[in-house]
């Protein structure tokens, strides 16, 4: 099966893609394009999947760069190869041609950034914690430090969990309301004191407040099992592990 790659006009002319799970070598619960070395999938199979992604991005596998994601606001500015072990961070930026910046997700927001006028790109992993703690704004700031212009940056949120699938408890809601009562707009009522959180709407708000153009591809990872991995869906199904989707942009 060939790879399926979701693209966005706002990231052109840079080669980029939000890869679905289609076209990979993994089997079982990981069936498809599992690109997560942190999963319990066979490491050699994950390497094959990542090599297919690198080929689609027209880079060597070693130029497909990822970090050790930890739900932080930390950003790595990449000038060449990353050290081993990979730095703990949740975003990467670069102005160096030939490098492909990649993020792994399975419900969290993969966000790709492009300033085509100044040739600066970025990629961020933004779950609720990272988005709340400022990873999106930090990515924009790091791009500006490399010469990007805030008004010229276009950010696209890829496939992630939608509000309909994202039920949270009252403590989660209280945390966001304590930070800013206006955050109530990102929640809709649920049952028994629970609520549904609109993660992509929150991400779009954060990005636009940072002064960049932003959009969401409007794909939900939870409700489309044939195309996307989902941590929450795997948890509800009591599966032992889950695959990781990859999203990539390169200069």
- Give me the pLDDT at residue 236, please: 96
- Give me the pLDDT at residue 156, please: 98
- Count of C-beta atoms within a 10 Å radius of residue 79: 11
- The share of the chain scoring above pLDDT 70, in percent, equals 99
Identify the structural domains of the chain with CATH numbers, from first to last: 5-162+198-250 (3.60.140.10)
Give per-residue pLDDT as tens, 203-233.
Answer: 999 999 999 999 999 999 999 999 999 999 9
| Average pLDDT rounded to a whole number, residues 58-82 | 96
- Give me the pLDDT at residue 1, please: 67
Nearest 5°: the CA angle 55, 59, 63 is 120
Please name which of 36, 17, 201, 19 lies closest in space to residue 114, comparing C-alpha atoms. Answer: 17
- Give me the pLDDT at residue 207, please: 98
Contacts with 236 (C-beta within 8 Å, 6 or more apart), sequence order = none
Give per-residue pLDDT as tens, 132-181.
Answer: 999 999 999 999 999 999 999 999 999 999 999 999 999 999 999 999 99
**pLDDT above 80: residue 55:** yes
- Give me the pLDDT at residue 81, please: 85
**pLDDT above 90: residue 191:** no
Please name which of 97, 94, 148 lies closest in space to residue 124, comparing C-alpha atoms. Answer: 94
On average, the pLDDT of the chain sits at 96
Please name which of 118, 160, 126, 122 lies closest in space to residue 141, comparing C-alpha atoms. Answer: 122
**pLDDT above 90: residue 17:** yes
CB-neighbour burial class of residue 83 (10 A; exposed 0-12, middle 13-18, buried 19+): exposed
**pLDDT above 90: residue 193:** no
Q: How far is residue 56's CA from residue 77's CA, in Å, rounded to a whole number?
A: 23
- Give me the pLDDT at residue 57, please: 97
**pLDDT above 80: residue 119:** yes
Residue 109 phi/psi, 5-degree rounding, is -80, 125
Q: How far is residue 144's CA from residue 147's CA, in Å, rounded to a whole number?
A: 5
Length of the chain equals 251
Show the tokens assigned to 54. Answer: 């690198």
The alpha-carbon radius of gyration of the chain (Å, integer) is: 17
């Amino acid at each position: 099966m060939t790879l399926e790659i979701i693209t966005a006009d706002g990231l052109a002319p840079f080669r980029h893609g939000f890869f679905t799970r289609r076209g990979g070598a993994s089997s079982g619960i990981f069936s498809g394009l599992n690109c997560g070395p942190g999963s319990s999938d066979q490491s050699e199979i994950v390497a094959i999947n990542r090599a297919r992604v690198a080929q689609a991005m027209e880079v060597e596998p070693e130029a497909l760069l990822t970090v050790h994601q930890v739900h932080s606001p930390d950003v790595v500015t990449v000038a060449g190869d990353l050290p081993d072990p990979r730095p703990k961070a949740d975003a990467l930026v670069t102005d160096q041609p030939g490098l492909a910046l990649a993020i792994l997700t399975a419900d969290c927001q993969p966000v790709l950034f492009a300033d085509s006028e100044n040739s600066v790109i970025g990629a961020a992993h933004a779950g609720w914690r990272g988005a709340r703690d400022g990873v999106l704004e930090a990515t924009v700031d790091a791009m500006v430090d490399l010469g990007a212009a805030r008004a010229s940056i276009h950010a696209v949120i890829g496939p992630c969990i939608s509000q309909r699938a994202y039920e949270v408890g009252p403590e989660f809601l209280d945390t966001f309301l304590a930070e800013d009562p206006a955050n109530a707009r990102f929640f809709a009522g649920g049952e028994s004191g629970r609520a549904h959180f609109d993660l992509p709407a929150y991400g779009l708000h954060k990005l636009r407040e940072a002064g960049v153009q932003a959009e969401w591809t409007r794909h939900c990872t939870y409700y489309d099992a044939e195309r996307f991995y989902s941590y929450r869906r795997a948890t509800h199904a009591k599966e032992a592990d889950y695959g990781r989707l990859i999203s990539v942009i390169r200069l």
